[in-house]
Amino acid sequence: MSNTYTAAGKHLSPASFWVPQYLEASAWADHAPFAFWLLEHHQPRTLVELGTHGGYSYFAFCQAVKACDLSTQCYAVDTWKGDEHTGFYDEAFFQRVSDYNEAHYAAFSRLVRATFDEAVKHFSDGSIDFLHVDGLHFYDDVKHDFETWLPKLSDRAIVLFHDTNVRERNFGVFQLWEELRKDFPSFEFLHGHGLGVLGCGTNLPEDIAEFLTAARNPSVATELRHAYGRLGAAFKADITAKEEIDHQKERVRALKTKLSISETETRSLQAREKALEAELMALEAELMALENALKEAATRLEVQWTQISALTKQVQDLTQRSDSQKQAIRALENSTSWRVTAPLRFIRRVPKQISWGIRQAAKSSAQLIYQYAPLPQSVKIRLVYVSFRIAPALFQNTSTFRRWKSQDRREKAEALLVKRQRPLREVARPFVIDHSVAVPFGYCKIPTPHPKLAVICHLFYENMAPEFQRYLANIPFPFDLFISTDTPAKKTTIEGFFENWKYGDIEIRVMENRGRDIAPKLVGFRDVYDTHEYVLSIHSKASDHESVLANWRGFLLENFLGSPEIVNSVFTAFNQRPDLGIIASQHFEPMRHWVNWGGNFELADNLARRMGIALLADKVLDFPSGSMFWARSSALMPVLDLNLTIEEFHAENDQIDGTLAHAIERLYFYICERAGYKWIKIAHPPLFEQTPAIISVEDPGAFDQFMSEHILTLTEPVTPAPRTAHPTPVKSAKQLIVRLQEKALGSNQIVESTTNVIVGIVTFNNSAKQIRGVVGSARNAMTQAGLVSNARIYVVDNGTLSQSILQTDPSVVHLQTLGNVGFGKAHNRLMAKAFSNGADIYVAANPDGSFHPDAIRALVQMMQAHSGRALIEAIQFPDEHPKAYDPFSFETAWASGACLAIPRLLFDTIGGFDDAFFMYCEDVDLSWRARANGFAVRICPRALFLHGVTDRDTDPAHLRVTYNSGIILARKWGSPKFESWLNLELKAIGFDPADVQPKKVPEEWIRVADFDHEFSFSETRW
């Protein structure tokens, strides 16, 4: 007996008693002790497991590899999708295994996510020392696996089979095992569903060969089975205990979560209670809310009243229904709600001046409450949000409001997305029969005589003016431009942008921010339609609630206003076809899948009835998505004749659907048909990569043919059936991106050789190498831009003199030094000199940087693209400033003075840098002043300006200058909070704030300032 124990004991070692680190319920749980011993003595070079599932066996192997410090490369092969024996499981299952592997064994273990047959190709013949087969357990499958992988086994190889002792559920491993054990030395453990050890190699390691030989002795085999069975059972108990602990922990977690939710709800209820109290205290603010609500209610009531009127008319024609309708009307007139709302109708008549007074009082009260009321911060914040929602006009210039608004829009967009996931009725035409005409036509020409055209443009976002200017320049004949916006400050900015407008008369009107672009166009400019035969309807569409719609506006402008030839095609079509009323753009493909009534049918139906149009919700629909189009004024008369009032439109509340404006957008083609006209859509083919049914017209006959064959008439009794499937959205065409960027960058512009560019450099104790570097690179860049005869470099020294360094350079002009007068002041001297000497553009450049040879050309091209009304920063390279910029318009919040192109017009209009700043923040101040006065602020990523990265100053003296500049900026642009913060920062490094009191900017400019992002003064990219 003792002998046989001794024999079995040779095949036990300390490793046999290790505890598995990865515990998981597994049919393999009992075999870990043997696995540890086996790895320790076999020491395979390559280990492969087929069928890893939850990883118990595999990680036991890995644990042994790591503990024994083996150089084994381990591979786990599995699809991790499950099978009919293990059940099927989700991605999280794999992720759990993967995470554990990465965390513990990434140095030598790799998960191979593939079928066994796919994976086998990646292993060389004779390369695997250790194979564990634990995949599908049907006889045919396991046999196939073994035979497929057999050539990969080395002469040291052993193969483990699991489930050799299972004889149920059609398991067939035992059958294969019976066959194989006849041909190879083997041993089988019977516990834990059975584990077969097959010695396939002809040159097995000595310990393994000895094990397999010894195990032939039945007594030894019994003892081995007994010993490893006992050891394995212990771990199984551990796993069971762990499962129970996990289960209990999970219960505790669930209970804690429940408790936490209860506590949160309790806190929320308490907060709600306090918030309600706070709202009561803010009586003035609530009055404001009430007033708005009453207005809304009154509007809705009027709409309802209009419906009743329309219904009454129908009732007269339909005798049978008339009694019930009349009863309904009488019932409504006698209803409690009508009587109750009588005061509302009174309040609507209260003069606006009184209303304004209430608003101001409300605003003041709200501010007082916020600052001094002894309320918890959470209640105050809620109070603020309530105030924002009910009285946005009061707070729209504050940064807190802008942040809240942005958040609110995102939340609404997310809510709409959720809503859109519910199926909406499909009413758009199938893609393949949604015909459009290719523009430009093959036969277009400038219309003569010139048509009487009014461009009606709503610019809520006044900073988009340069973009509209570029596109309007494509209209090859004079026209009248009518612009609306919503504040006098924006009007001033827009006036700045259009100061030298040369394409016709221009009129800018300020209108209430209500009804988006639609109300200003149809109500605010109602008179324009009577004096102009044609209109172009455009607006500063932002669509920032959906990233895929980022280029929707650019697409529309590019598609129907992208070149003079396109505009000529439009008027060729109008002239050839007097029956043509509206020409709109084919849909922007990323939004085509949203062509439907949305939540607007009811509103549209009500309005349509007033125009004598009958709608059917399930009939095919099309409309000029984006509400931009060319039209004959008379084609819009049905809606113009309704003489809509601004109050009929919903108050602005960042709606993205369900307003009268959204309803009218969907009715334009109906309106056109009601006026007796036809409508078409046009498409510029390069902007449509996958859109079918775009028809080219090379002659008038072809266009007539299009009009006779492909026109859709929405009001005809029979129309095509709508699409049956919701289309998959597609991305913007690459060509659109290319064109938008090309136009905004001006990269298609030829640099005028007469352009006079002067680079200005202010030195401060720079090395000769640096000064020669920046001057040399500036000269080279101007030469590359073709500006040889008009390019000069002006230098002034704020520190040590540099004249001796550059004395032989004829392109350099030195100004007399005035000592260290500061960065901005020194540049102002250079700038004044440059512009007085005829410069068109002054480029301020830091003395420790270097121009890319193409930088000046890129800056001049972009300046030309912006008609000289822009402040343009050359991008810092290689380490860019993280402030955000738009990669299509290149708009940025402010332009860095490190390398900055300043046009003469800007210097003449707003001057140069503010001398109050000694150094830093003067560029931010200049940028904000530029924006407030109708100049674009852009970054040019084609113009690289190289600068140092790793040696930036962060010493206290340097910080002192920086913080003091920030304080001056805060004082000038009205941010006491920012100033207070910097005062504290200055004190922390032992300095007092500067005693500089700059002149404050006008109140209406403050809207462009951004003090919410510390010294970035902008959203940042990282």
Partner 1 sequence: MSNQVNTVVRFHDLTRLHELKRCIFSLVGQTYRPLNIILALQRFTASDVTAMKNTVARLIGGDDTITISIVNYEQPEPADARSALLNLGVNQANDGYLAFLDYDDVLYPEAYQLLTSRLLQTGAAIAFATVRVMRLNVYDQFLYAESRVTPPFSGSDLVDLFQVNFCPLHSYLVDRGKISADVLQFNTSLALEEDYDVLLRICAKYRSDFSLIETCVGDYYYKTDGSNTVPTEGGLSGRALSQYIDVRTAMEEMRRTTTISKSVQRILGLPASDSPVTIRDVIKRFSSGRLSRVVRRPTSPIAINSDQRA
Residues that bind partner 1 (CB under 8 A): 69, 71, 73, 75, 94, 98-99, 102, 106-107, 110-114, 118-119, 121-123, 737-738, 741-742, 745, 747, 769, 776-777, 780, 784, 850, 852-853, 877-880, 887, 941-942, 944, 946-951, 1021-1022
Residue 319 CA to its chain's centroid (Å)? 56
**Buried residues in 608-644 as b, exposed as e (16+ CB within 10 A):** bbbbebebeeebbbbbbbbbbbbbbbbbbbbbbebeb
Cβ-based nearer residue to partner 1, 662 or 852: 852
Cβ-based nearer residue to partner 1, 21 or 306: 21
Cβ-based nearer residue to partner 1, 62 or 278: 62
- SS3 call for 434: coil
Smallest distance from partner 1 to CB 102, Å: 6
Q: In whole angstroms, how large is the CA radius of gyration of the chain?
A: 39
Smallest distance from partner 1 to CB 948, Å: 5
Q: How many residues does the chain have?
A: 1022
Dist. CA 1017–CA 537, nearest whole Å: 35
Cβ-based nearer residue to partner 1, 757 or 1009: 757
- 840 residue type, one letter: D
- Residue 213: partners with Cβ closer than 8 Å, 6 or more residues away: 185
Cβ-based nearer residue to partner 1, 121 or 182: 121
Smallest distance from partner 1 to CB 903, Å: 22
Dist. CA 515–CA 866, nearest whole Å: 30
Question: What angle in degrees, to the nearest 10, is found between the helix axes of 552-561 and 465-472?
Answer: 20
For 824, phi then psi, to 5°, come to -65, -40
Smallest distance from partner 1 to CB 857, Å: 12
Cβ-based nearer residue to partner 1, 657 or 880: 880
Smallest distance from partner 1 to CB 93, Å: 12
Cβ-based nearer residue to partner 1, 632 or 942: 942
Cβ-based nearer residue to partner 1, 114 or 611: 114
Cβ-based nearer residue to partner 1, 100 or 630: 100
Question: Within 10 Å of residue 135's Cβ, how many Cβ atoms?
Answer: 24
Smallest distance from partner 1 to CB 611, Å: 46
- Residue 429: partners with Cβ closer than 8 Å, 6 or more residues away: 620, 622, 712, 720, 722, 723
User: Smallest Cα–Cα separation from 569: which of 655, 500, 630, 611?
Assistant: 630
Smallest distance from partner 1 to CB 112, Å: 6
Smallest distance from partner 1 to CB 769, Å: 8
Residue 808, both tokens: 């032989």
Cβ-based nearer residue to partner 1, 227 or 944: 944
Smallest distance from partner 1 to CB 885, Å: 9
Cβ-based nearer residue to partner 1, 658 or 776: 776
- Contact (CB, 8 A) for 175 and 139: yes
Question: Within 10 Å of residue 260's Cβ, how many Cβ atoms?
Answer: 10
**Buried residues in 788-827 as b, exposed as e (16+ CB within 10 A):** eebbbbbbbbbeeebeebbeeeebbbbeebeebbbbbbbb
Dist. CA 109–CA 286, nearest whole Å: 65
Using DSSP bridges, classify how beta strands 153-162 and 128-133 pair: parallel, antiparallel or unpaired. Answer: parallel
Smallest distance from partner 1 to CB 59, Å: 16
Cβ-based nearer residue to partner 1, 122 or 300: 122
Residue 203, both tokens: 């040159």
* H helix or E strand, kind and range, residue 795: strand 791-797
User: Smallest Cα–Cα separation from 388: which of 371, 405, 374?
Assistant: 405
Q: What share of the chain is helix, strand, coil (3-state, %, to 5)?
A: 50, 15, 35
Smallest distance from partner 1 to CB 743, Å: 12
List Cα–Cα distances, 866 to 452, 765, 941, 956, in angstroms: 27, 36, 15, 40
Smallest distance from partner 1 to CB 162, Å: 23
Residue 827, both tokens: 């540049």
For 456, phi then psi, to 5°, come to -105, 115
Q: Is the bond into 638 cis (omega within 30 degrees of 0)?
A: no
Place of tokens 């100053």: 953
Cβ-based nearer residue to partner 1, 396 or 784: 784
Smallest distance from partner 1 to CB 843, Å: 18
For the chain, give the longest Cα–Cα distance.
Answer: 119
DSSP letters spanning 288-308: HHHHHHHHHHHHHHHHHHHHH
CA contacts within 13 A on the Cβ side of 531? 11
Cβ-based nearer residue to partner 1, 292 or 780: 780
Place of tokens 């079509």: 573
Q: Is the bond into 941 cis (omega within 30 degrees of 0)?
A: no
Smallest distance from partner 1 to CB 850, Å: 6
Q: Is the bond into 449 cis (omega within 30 degrees of 0)?
A: yes
- Helices in 2-55 by DSSP H: which ranges? 2-9, 32-42
Dist. CA 799–CA 789, nearest whole Å: 30
Smallest distance from partner 1 to CB 91, Å: 8
Smallest distance from partner 1 to CB 954, Å: 15
List Cα–Cα distances, 897 to 697, 796, 935, in angstroms: 51, 16, 16
Cβ-based nearer residue to partner 1, 98 or 398: 98
Smallest distance from partner 1 to CB 749, Å: 13
Place of tokens 């008379």: 634
Cβ-based nearer residue to partner 1, 674 or 866: 866
Smallest distance from partner 1 to CB 489, Å: 31
Cβ-based nearer residue to partner 1, 123 or 918: 123
Cβ-based nearer residue to partner 1, 53 or 960: 53
User: Smallest Cα–Cα separation from 675: which of 716, 635, 621?
Assistant: 635
